[in-house]
Amino acid sequence: MIVSILDNDFYKFTMQHAVMKLFPKARAKYQFINRGKHVFPPGFAPALQDAIAALAKLQLTDREKSYFATTCPYIDPTYFDFLQGYRYDPTEVRVEQQDGELTVAIEGYWYRTILWEVPIMSLICELYYQLTGQIRQPDEQVIATATQKIEQYGQLGVTIAEFGTRRRHSYTVHRLVVQALRAAGEGTFIGTSNVHMAMRNQTRPIGTHAHEWFMFHAAKYGFKMANLLGLEHWSEVYRGDLGIALSDTYTTDVFFTQFDKKLSKLFDGVRHDSGDPLVFADKTIAHYEHHGIDPRSKTIIFSDGLDTEKVTRIAGYCRGRIGISFGIGTNFTNDVGLPPMNIVIKMTEAYPTDGHWTPVIKLSDEPGKHTGDGKMIALAKQILDIP
């Protein structure tokens, strides 16, 4: 199901590199959240535990190391030496099952545990379909569907990246989809968030950072400084590379109050991950214009539950006003005739150096997507003046 240590999202490696440089003693906890209320069949937990244990055998090969280092020269060579010696430690993960309910908890040094989220989610999805006996469409249909979609996006004149590792149907489907996108998407398909799939298909790994980067910064520095210091630290590590800023960890409105003129000029653009994309586009354009920056020199990466209809609507609204690109996940890697899973794994607590365990939260632009401790959510809203 997972055959390479690089079968993970690019932003996990870029964040791991940054965590090692800046917060090597920090610890973290993560928790599985079953948003879709899926009922897991008997024996699911032992099967998942076995699959997690198998990840301990993975290691970075010389060929993978050479590809990764050559493709990403802005990452320190010492990091690739570290990654070659890194092994997943299954003792960092606890899996339990009570009837149809599944519990997955992760705890350890942040620089180590940061790599668990994506492969565990993909394992949960693949095992769920296997153990519930659900039959997907044949390979030919999977390829045809992906080909049709990328051709439609090509007709729109937009660029598309594949972001579907976490909730893919299976490794096989993911592989077939990226191959189809690469074959039929010249000029449209620009890469994948999955480093292993990027290497297999000689395309670019795409990504920067995730919500947990800013969630940790809130635990260490407070909610009012989380976005600002999170981006300052990111720029210290990457010096202008990997310049797309994630905007909705504590709502977009709060983000733009902290995304000052210096950061607005330094970063290439922002990523939209929740809320109305057209409202977000208007806010982003207004923000850049307020700081005397031509919005057409910046880019919005849209990545929230996209399909052809949404991309068409967004492209028509934004074209000529600001640069745009799209990251599409589940609609590529789990469009196989079965209901896709709705699951996440989120950081729940952080332990900064010389600190203490602190609950961490995420305040999405969609209230239903808020995650974390209720008391901490209420406190953050009060501090950040969020209704």
Per-residue model confidence (pLDDT) at position 265: 98
Whether the model clears a pTM of 0.95, i.e. scores above it, the answer is: yes
Query: Does an H or E element contain 107, and which?
Result: strand 101-109
Distances (CA, A) of 54 to 2, 7, 21, 95, 289: 9, 14, 29, 14, 51
> Closest by alpha carbon to 52, among 6, 104, 97, 99?
104
Angle at 237 between CA 55 and CA 120, to 5 degrees: 20
pLDDT digit of tens for each residue in the chain (387 aa)? 999 999 999 999 999 999 999 999 999 999 999 999 999 999 999 999 999 999 999 999 999 999 999 999 999 999 999 999 999 999 999 999 999 999 999 999 999 999 999 999 999 999 999 999 999 999 999 999 999 999 999 999 999 999 999 999 999 999 999 999 999 999 999 999 999 999 999 999 999 999 999 999 999 999 999 999 999 999 999 999 999 999 999 999 999 999 999 999 999 999 999 999 999 999 999 999 999 999 999 999 999 999 999 999 999 999 999 999 999 999 999 999 999 999 999 999 999 988 899 999 999 898 767 889 999 999 999 999 998
Helix (H, G, I), strand (E, B) or coil at 17: helix
Per-residue model confidence (pLDDT) at position 355: 83
Backbone angles phi, psi at 191, to 5 degrees: 155, -175
Distance CA 376, CA 358 (A): 9
Q: Hey, what domains does the chain have and what are their CATH numbers?
A: 10-135+340-364 (3.20.140.10), 139-333 (3.20.140.10)
Q: What is the dihedral of CA 213, 233, 359, 366, to 10 degrees?
A: -50
Per-residue model confidence (pLDDT) at position 368: 67
Per-residue model confidence (pLDDT) at position 371: 86
Distances (CA, A) of 275 to 288, 305, 364: 19, 10, 8
Per-residue model confidence (pLDDT) at position 316: 98
Distance CA 50, CA 45 (A): 9
Per-residue model confidence (pLDDT) at position 105: 98
Contacts 24+ apart (CB under 8 A), 143-147: 143/176, 143/177, 143/179, 143/180, 145/335, 146/176, 146/177, 146/180, 146/181, 146/184, 146/332, 147/180, 147/183, 147/184
**Tokens 């598309």, residue located:** 160
Q: What is the DSSP letter of 101?
A: E
Task: Specify whether the backbone of 216 is left (phi greater than 0), alpha (psi in -120 to 50) or beta.
Answer: alpha
Task: Specify whether the backbone of 165 is left (phi greater than 0), alpha (psi in -120 to 50) or beta.
Answer: alpha
The string over 264-274, giving b where at least 16 C-beta atoms fall within 10 Å of a residue's C-beta and e elsewhere, is bebbbbbbbbb
Distance CA 96, CA 48 (A): 10
Beta-carbon contacts of 181 under 8 Å, excluding residues fewer than 6 positions away, are 146, 150, 160, 162, 189, 192, 332
Query: How far apart are the two ends of the chain, measured CA to CA in Å?
Result: 44
Q: What is the DSSP letter of 275?
A: S
